[in-house]
Amino acid sequence: VKNYELFQCEGFRLISSIHSAEEVEQIKNWEVRDSDIFGVTYPKSGTIWLQQILILIEAKGDLTATKDENNLTRVPWIEVIGGEKKFLLEPSPRLRITHLPYSLLPAGLKQKKGKVIYVARNPKDVLVSFYHFHDFGVFLETPKDFNDFYEKFMDGQVFGSSWFEHIKAYHTHRDEMNFLYITYEEMIQDLRSVVKRICAFLEKDLTDLEIDNVVEHSRFDSMRHNNKANYRTVSDQIFNHKKGTFLRKGTLVPGDWKNHFTVAQSEHFDKVFKEEMKDIPLFFSWD
Ligand code: PPS
């Protein structure tokens, strides 16, 4: 098995070196508590941004409260090997992130136990961020070129499978969960009001100053310089830190897809988007 080989769990593509089918299949049976909070995303949509925000809200904006612990330990991925043990043993509140599709979630979440925050990002920028991530992540196969990756992404032949299937399933089933939908672009435009919406959803009563601190410490620049939050400490066997950084462009170049897509790719994408999303009233800012 190659380091970066993908396998499927109920049609959802995962990475053989960091996920296990047996463990992922168990996740549906995990017992959910009302206090559990799950951040859910398709890859490259703002997961580690939400991870930092959740930690800071819990700490009422106090960065030092989290200083000894890496974000990855404080808010782990549920699907990564070893996830179950951590989940069962942890005292409340348990904060988690995941890329899993709706169909593989713990069943309790679908009975309105716990809370789900879904972050979506304009999928053209997701595609570009994901393309670069395949260079940075040692556990993913480096694409031949952008067009090669474009085709794989549109075909769902990537980790996370189809972007369209992911968001459509969550949108369709949102009323079955305690569910908050936010977008990466809203976070770029007005982080403070998104943080306030998250606080309201989580029933967290923070003062204006505490909110300011959450916002300040989760800005792109702050996170870029915070090794607890920016994945810089993850081993070279997982990320090729010589090739790039996890926080690549973020707010610096929103709409980075325009620097990568050809006109033909963009037109093709728009056509597929229109068709796939025809019954899903979700809108994205493309700039
Ligand atoms: S992953 O691998 O799925 O967990 O990646 P994910 O965290 O979902 O997405 C990574 C992209 O999010 C950007 N990012 C941010 N943008 C703005 N502000 C903040 N604070 C922030 N933190 C992470 C990160 O730069 C990746 O986007 P690109 O376009 O590649 O820069």
Is the four-CA dihedral 142, 147, 152, 153 of positive or negative sign?
positive
Whether 282 contacts 182, CB under 8 Å: no
Which residue, judged by its Cα, is nearest atom 17 of ligand 1? Answer: 250
ipTM of this complex > 0.95? yes
3-class DSSP state for residue 192?
Answer: helix
**132 conformational bin, left if phi > 0, alpha if psi -120 to 50, beta if neither:** alpha
Token output for 92: 């409340």
CATH topology of domain 6-276: Rossmann fold (3.40.50)
Which residue, judged by its Cα, is nearest atom 15 of ligand 1? Answer: 250
160 CA from centroid of ligand 1 (Å): 16
276: pLDDT strictly greater than 80: yes
Pocket test for ligand 1, best of 47, 49, 75, 139 (most atoms within 8 A of CB): 49
249 CA from centroid of ligand 1 (Å): 8
Which residue, judged by its Cα, is nearest atom 12 of ligand 1? Answer: 46
d(CA 208, CA 154): 43
Among all chains, which residue has been given the structure tokens 């612990």? 69
Mean pLDDT of the chain: 94
Give the mean pLDDT of 255-268.
Answer: 95
| C-alpha distance from residue 96 to each of 123, 161, 257, 267 (Å) | 23, 21, 29, 37
Whether 177 contacts 36, CB under 8 Å: no
Which residue, judged by its Cα, is nearest atom 30 of ligand 1? Answer: 129
| pLDDT at residue 69, as a whole number | 81
d(CA 158, CA 150): 10
pLDDT digits (tens, 9 = 90+) for 23-54: 999 999 999 999 999 999 999 999 999 999 99
Pocket test for ligand 1, best of 246, 251, 252, 287 (most atoms within 8 A of CB): 246
Whether 181 contacts 50, CB under 8 Å: no
Active site residue ranges: 99
Quick one: which atom of ligand 1 is closest to the CA of 256? 29
Lowest-pLDDT range of 159-173, 235-249, 260-274: 235-249
Which residue, judged by its Cα, is nearest atom 24 of ligand 1? Answer: 247
Instruction: State the pLDDT confidence band at 67, using cuts at 50, 70 and 90.
Output: low
Nearest to 106 by CA among 49, 176, 54, 55: 176
Residue-level length of the chain: 287
Give the mean pLDDT of 247-266.
Answer: 87
3-class DSSP state for residue 255?
Answer: coil
111 CA from centroid of ligand 1 (Å): 30
Residues with CB under 6 A from ligand 1: 41, 43-49, 125, 129, 132-133, 218-220, 223, 247-251, 256
Which residue, judged by its Cα, is nearest atom 16 of ligand 1? Answer: 250
For the chain, percent helix, then strand, then coil, each to nearest 5? 45, 10, 40
| pLDDT at residue 2, as a whole number | 66
Q: Which residues contact 22 (CB under 8 A, 6 or more apart)?
A: none
Whether 33 contacts 113, CB under 8 Å: yes
d(CA 190, CA 199): 15
Instruction: State the pLDDT confidence band at 138, using cuts at 50, 70 and 90.
Output: confident
52 CA from centroid of ligand 1 (Å): 11
Pocket test for ligand 1, best of 139, 247, 252, 286 (most atoms within 8 A of CB): 247
- 3-state secondary structure labels for all residues of 28-83: HHCCCCCCCEEEEECCCCCHHHHHHHHHHHHCCCCHHHHCCCCHHHHCCECCECCH
161: pLDDT strictly greater than 60: yes
State the Cα angle at 46 between 41 and 49, rounded to 5°.
Answer: 120
- The enclosing H or E element of 118 equals strand 115-120
| pLDDT at residue 243, as a whole number | 83
| pLDDT at residue 257, as a whole number | 95
